[in-house]
Structure 1
Amino acid sequence: MRNTADRIRHTLLFEIIGISACVPLASWILGKGLAQLGTMSLAISFTAMCLNFIFNLLFDKALIKLGRPVNIRPTWMRIFHATLFEVTLLALTLPGVAWWLDMTLWDAFVTDLGFALFFLVYAFFFNWTYDTVFPMPATLVPATAENN
């Protein structure tokens, strides 16, 4: 599994690159100010960073419990991982997006879904690239009572 420093590097790189790409695009599409969307994106980013750390740790532990190596991730698993993360984040951020952008829940859902779709595709390619640049150790720890 990845160590804490690696997980923090992963999370920070993911959010910095993602926000830098997403905020100007969302500002243009929604007709909202960069400051308003930037502030909201930072709040979502903070939520996502906390969730990312916990989510990826639990995902790796689930792989180990299932007896799967954490360093082998076929395409279907990467799609499942990215989708599950984005659905979880969407559920957590929807009320805040509606409030911050003064939208109905439906409009906020569509807006948040746009962010989620952007980050879904981004997460897939970012994680694949990250795993290539910073590979995980090729070890499998058997699930035992000592590892839980």
Structure 2
Amino acid sequence: MRTTKDRIRHALSFEIIGLLIFAPLASLVFGFKLELMGVIAIAGSIVATVWNYFYNILFDKAMLRLRGSVHKTVALRVGHTVLFEGGLLVLFLPLIAWYLQISLWEAFVMDIAMATFYLVYAFVFNWAYDKVFPIPQHAQGTQ
């Protein structure tokens, strides 16, 4: 399994890179000021960073228990990403509607678009992260 230091590096780099891409893109796509989308993105980033840390620990422990390894196939990476983003979708819907003063339906559409962006981004980022910072062979089956 990954060390605490590695998990923190992973979570912080994921969120910082995601913010730098998402906020300007969302401002253009949704037509809100960059400042508003920046606040949404930062608030979401804070919640997502905390969720990311605990979610990945739980996911890795489940993989070790069920499979004896934390190695992820493409199918497991897709499932990992979908479950993670599904949790965030539920958390962000009321926040977006309240802060942007839009209907729940509009917030839902925006949240789906955000989740779609982060689904693709998370898949690519995590795959690249595992290539750049591989888990040492001796740590793949330990807790």
**RMSD in angstroms over aligned alpha carbons?**
1.0
Identity %, equivalent residues? 48
Matched with 1:7 is 7
In structure 1, list runs of 5 or more residues that go unmatched: 142-146
Displacement of 1:17 in angstroms is 0.5
Q: TM-score of the superposition, structure 2-length normalised?
A: 0.95
How is 1:51-62 mapped onto 2 (pairs within 5 angstroms)? 51-62=51-62
In structure 2, list runs of 5 or more residues that go unmatched: none
Matched with 1:17 is 17
Quote the Cα distance in structure 2 between the aligned partners of 1:110 and 1:125. 23
Counterpart residue identity of residue 53, structure 1? Y
Displacement of 1:87 in angstroms is 0.3
Counterpart residue identity of residue 53, structure 2? F
Corresponding residue pairs, total: 141
Quote the Cα distance in structure 2 between the aligned partners of 1:102 and 1:137. 48
The structure richer in helix per residue is: 2
Matched with 2:89 is 90
Quote the Cα distance in structure 2 between the aligned partners of 1:68 and 1:99. 44
| Local SS of the residue matching 1:47 | helix
| Local SS of the residue matching 1:66 | helix
In the TM superposition, structure 1's runs of 4+ consecutive aligned residues that sit over 6 Å from their partners are none
The reply to whether residue 140 of structure 1 matches residue 137 of structure 2 is: no
| Local SS of the residue matching 1:54 | helix
| Local SS of the residue matching 2:68 | coil
Q: TM-score of the superposition, structure 1-length normalised?
A: 0.92
